[in-house]
Chain A
Amino acid sequence: MNLILVTFIILLAFTSYYFGRKKALVIQSSQRLTALPKFYGYYLAAWCAAPALIIFALWSVFEPSIVKTFILQDYTDQNLTKNELQLIYTKVKALAAGTYTGNITNFLDESANKYIQLKGIANSAKVAIILAILIFSLSFAYRSVQKNDRMREPVEIFLKWVLFVASLGAVLVTIGIVFSLLFEAIRFFQAVKIFDFIFGTHWYPAKTFVRDGQPDPELMKDAFGAVPLFAGTFFIAFIAMCVAIPIGLLSGIYLSEYAGRGIRKYAKPIIEILAGIPTVVYGFFAALTVGPFVKEIGNAMGLEVSAESALAAGAVMGVMIIPFISSLSDDVMTAVPQNLRDGSYAMGATKSETVKKVIFPAALPGIVGSILLAVSRAVGETMIVVMASGLAANLTMNPLESTSTITAQIVVILIGDQQFGDPKTQSAFALGISLFIVTLLLNVIALSVVKKYREKYE
């Protein structure tokens, strides 16, 4: 039904395009056109399709919930919970579709009939309204065409609106992120106190699993303390930065100040490709090679090392981040104006003095920004820690033991079948929102630092 309606609208729009163009050619014989003939076509087509499709979309969004309210009105006096109502509604819908297999009560049957009836009314109303809109908007548009009004401007304004709506897409994604995280996280914090989450030192969500009924609140209190995860996340990120910052910066300095044109020409694309290697590949590498290697070395030195040590995961993550820091700091240093360099050389400074005393300090804000971005990446990195660091959340500062991170726990919790409404599942969203806030802060600071830096040299 919907498909036919949409196809009809679109076909009609195409027809009106050709009709509008034809009409323009007719007008042309007596008056000067206000725009190219095709704009007359676009004008009619836009007026035909846009209002009808917008109404159609709105209708499709709101119809189900309105029908649902109508159906569930009959159940208001029965004092049912939200979930029970939802279940009833699902049953009613299944019954109406003829796919219900449970036992049918009178009440249910009545509701199903009502549902079918409502759907029928809604459907015919929808078709009627959309046809009316089509007739109305098309005749309005046709009048303008006949009067030979300006045609290009309205079409362009319409296009501009389309572009504007597209640019809202990005905002919509952010809103989607915030709301989907908040929605579940708030429900989580209804079951677990926010204080216990932020300051608790035991993370063991599996403990709360109970077959039936509500889990013990005392248990809940002690199962969702996120401190070990926060600590593990920053600990691993710290190890990663210890690896990535020195190497990345040095290679950035080399590329921007020392490397010749030939080397740059090949090094840049290679670094870009390195930066594009999927993290799951690094994760595999970390789990299969680096982890056991670190363990062996540690054992040889008489230390007790876990095969899934924080050190292995952090080191590999550091390697992953090197190209990121290297290319960002290269960009930042290349942006330092040439006259600063020239001034330093003119005073007789050597190359390394110039780099150390002039370029590096001048580029420092930009470099700090890049490093913050890199930290945000390390904090948000998932696959390496899932595969190479432990999944048990130990609160430890020993790089040879295994720890877990926010991202790893989200994956562990949500892999396989999830049950919405379970505090364990919701805790993943609470972790998600903490991760989002942390990385957002890092990004906002980093981006504003970098932006200020750019403006300084432009």
Chain B
Amino acid sequence: MSKIKAENVNVYYGSKQALFDVSIDIAEKEVTALIGPSGCGKSTFLRCLNRMNDVIEICRVEGSIKMDNLELNSRKLDVVRLRENVGMVFQKPNPFPKTIYENVAYGPTIHGIAQSKEEMDQIVETSLKKAALWNEVKDRLDEIGTGLSGGQQQRLCIARAISVSPEVILMDEPCSALDPIATAQIEELIDDLKKEVTIVIVTHSMSQAARVSQKTGFFHLGKLIEFGPTDKIFKNPDNQQTQDYITGRFG
């Protein structure tokens, strides 16, 4: 089942084109990994999916991106509602400098998801549990979120993203600031989450892409070179460039 269908997406930063005719089908409740050398446009593409490129004034997106047949790249779209449905986790953990509880409760508050304090407590608890952070922080929910360790902060950010029960979560190199143990925890988490949500993850680690994803897309110089099942991409890719990149002979 296709969740997101991008067709002929072109992105420009001012006069500079960052993406060229990218077409991709992202399947529901699967993990899709995007790999490619630095500056090839992975983040740019990811940010098209929740319209974060709107923030960059010079950025212009062309083409069609449909999620459940809803056109995302349209001026009429309610961006707030989209971002409620498409969460995002960033490269560097960026919890709000507020309490752990407030970090998780912020999304549900602005979207009016919880009707009462009890309901909110419940949402905070389940989100933290899903993010595998509950046991570590349940006694100090009113401590400042920025006081946690890096791995905990990143899981807090994941909890924050899932607190509004999004259908899609975008992760832009979520483990690049973390140590191997924290990375393993996050990967486990991704595995759990994919039962309920569609995940798109950008990563520089081949092994990570191989471990967590079902589909992999390889970007190079703003073009989607190859896209297919992770096994195939890693074992016998069609394209020579892909082959070179994953075997580390690139460049």
Q: Do chains A and B touch in the complex (CB under 8 A)?
A: yes
The answer to whether A152 touches B80 (Cβ under 8 A) is: yes
The answer to whether B80 touches A33 (Cβ under 8 A) is: no
C-alpha gap A351/B116 in the complex (Å)? 66
A87 to chain B, nearest CB (A): 58
Chain B residues with CB below 8 A from A33, complex form? 112
Tell me, yes or no, whether A159 is within 8 Å of chain B by CB: no
Tell me, yes or no, whether A37 is within 8 Å of chain B by CB: yes
Interface flags, A11-37, vs B, CB<8A=1, else 0: 000000000000000000000010111
Tell me, yes or no, whether B110 is within 8 Å of chain A by CB: yes
B15 to chain A, nearest CB (A): 22
A359 to chain B, nearest CB (A): 34
A31 to chain B, nearest CB (A): 13
Chain A residues with CB below 8 A from B112, complex form? 33, 35-37
Candidate in B78, B80, B110, B112 with the most chain A CB atoms within 10 angstroms: B112
Chain B residues with CB below 8 A from A35, complex form? 112
C-alpha gap A31/B110 in the complex (Å)? 18
Closest residue on chain B to residue A24 by CB atoms: B112
Interface flags, A33-57, vs B, CB<8A=1, else 0: 1011100000000000000000000
A44 to chain B, nearest CB (A): 18
Number of A-B contacts (CB under 8 A): 8
C-alpha gap A36/B111 in the complex (Å)? 7
**Chain B interface, >50% SS class:** loop
B122 to chain A, nearest CB (A): 19
**Please, how many residues of chain B have a CB less than 8 angstroms from a CB on the other chain?**
5
Chain A residues with CB below 8 A from B80, complex form? 152
C-alpha gap A150/B110 in the complex (Å)? 15
B34-48 contacts to A (CB < 8 Å): none
Chain B residues with CB below 8 A from A37, complex form? 112
A403-444 contacts to B (CB < 8 Å): none
C-alpha gap A150/B77 in the complex (Å)? 12
C-alpha gap A37/B115 in the complex (Å)? 11
B70-88 contacts to A (CB < 8 Å): 78, 80
B44 to chain A, nearest CB (A): 25
Closest residue on chain A to residue B115 by CB atoms: A28
B112 to chain A, nearest CB (A): 5
C-alpha gap A33/B113 in the complex (Å)? 11
Interface flags, B107-121, vs A, CB<8A=1, else 0: 000111000000000
C-alpha gap A33/B115 in the complex (Å)? 13
Closest residue on chain B to residue A38 by CB atoms: B112
Closest residue on chain B to residue A150 by CB atoms: B78
C-alpha gap A35/B78 in the complex (Å)? 11
C-alpha gap A150/B76 in the complex (Å)? 12
B105 to chain A, nearest CB (A): 14
B53 to chain A, nearest CB (A): 20
C-alpha gap A152/B111 in the complex (Å)? 11
B178-196 contacts to A (CB < 8 Å): none
Interface flags, A142-163, vs B, CB<8A=1, else 0: 0000000010100000000000
Chain B residues with CB below 8 A from A152, complex form? 80
C-alpha gap A37/B78 in the complex (Å)? 17
Closest residue on chain A to residue B78 by CB atoms: A150
Chain A residues with CB below 8 A from B111, complex form? 36
C-alpha gap A150/B112 in the complex (Å)? 15
C-alpha gap A152/B110 in the complex (Å)? 11
B107 to chain A, nearest CB (A): 12
C-alpha gap A150/B80 in the complex (Å)? 12
Closest residue on chain A to residue B110 by CB atoms: A36
C-alpha gap A37/B110 in the complex (Å)? 10
A43 to chain B, nearest CB (A): 15
A35 to chain B, nearest CB (A): 8
Closest residue on chain B to residue A25 by CB atoms: B115
Closest residue on chain A to residue B112 by CB atoms: A36
B146 to chain A, nearest CB (A): 25
B42 to chain A, nearest CB (A): 28
Closest residue on chain B to residue A37 by CB atoms: B112
Closest residue on chain A to residue B109 by CB atoms: A36
Chain B residues with CB below 8 A from A150, complex form? 78
Closest residue on chain A to residue B80 by CB atoms: A152
Binding site for B on A (CB under 8 A): 33, 35-37, 150, 152
Binding site for A on B (CB under 8 A): 78, 80, 110-112
- 8 cross-chain CB contacts under 8 A: A33-B112, A35-B112, A36-B110, A36-B111, A36-B112, A37-B112, A150-B78, A152-B80
